[in-house]
Amino acid sequence: MTKSNTLEQSLKHASHVCRVINVMLTVLLIGAGLIWLTALVMSFAQLGAAGFDGMSLVAYIVLYGVLVLGVLAMLKLIFKDAVNSETPFTEKQADRLRFIAFLALMFALLEFAFTLGVTFEVVPRIGYDVTVNRGSTEPVISINVGVLVFSAIMYSLSAIFRYAALLQQLSDETV
């Protein structure tokens, strides 16, 4: 088997994997969207019921859904381009990765703000039995370090992709 045949087989396999991931992201995006809309409708239905004053919860659900669906949509666009045999090292892909990093950072800040509000709320008005801080009686603020690390990794990848795109552009211009 020649080197070019091995390379073609590897490219074919990578394309197949990207196609499968793209389909899985489509299913995940649709499923997450349906779950988000269901939670949103249920929250809006509860707003006027039995003194439930949960606008902060509704706002959290709206923002949470937008951020999660935004990340899934950006990932789908990245893999869609790969399925269409476009080079991954473009500034467009770098911008998408940087946007994912931004959305993840906003998600961490949203969780921080929500736990801050729930923890120090004098009269709980959310309407559900909420266990905050893993049942701790002391007020503690939660910071999702995992999402912050994910955001940093995505930002780093965007810088690497941008650098690779510029190198590719330089190489194309010299040839």
The pLDDT of residue 162 is 95
Place of tokens 């995505």: 154
Tokens of 91: 């500034």
The pLDDT of residue 75 is 95
The pLDDT of residue 73 is 97
The pLDDT of residue 85 is 86
d(CA 119, CA 121): 6
User: How many Å separate Cα 72 from the centre of its chain?
Assistant: 5
Walking along the chain (175 residues) 10 residues at a time, the average pLDDT comes out as 81 93 97 94 76 71 94 96 89 96 94 73 49 56 86 96 92 81
State the number of CA atoms in the 13 A half-sphere of 163 facing the CB: 6
Tokens of 79: 């893999």
Q: Select from 132, 134, 118, 104 the least CA-distant residue to 59.
A: 118
d(CA 146, CA 108): 9
Q: What are phi and psi of 90, to 5 degrees?
A: -125, 160
Query: Secondary structure of the chain: what % helix, strand, coil (to 5)?
Result: 80, 0, 20
pTM over the 0.85 mark: no
CB 72 within 8 A of CB 25: yes
The pLDDT of residue 128 is 46
Three-class SS of residue 88?
Answer: coil
CB 35 within 8 A of CB 93: no
Residue type, 23: V
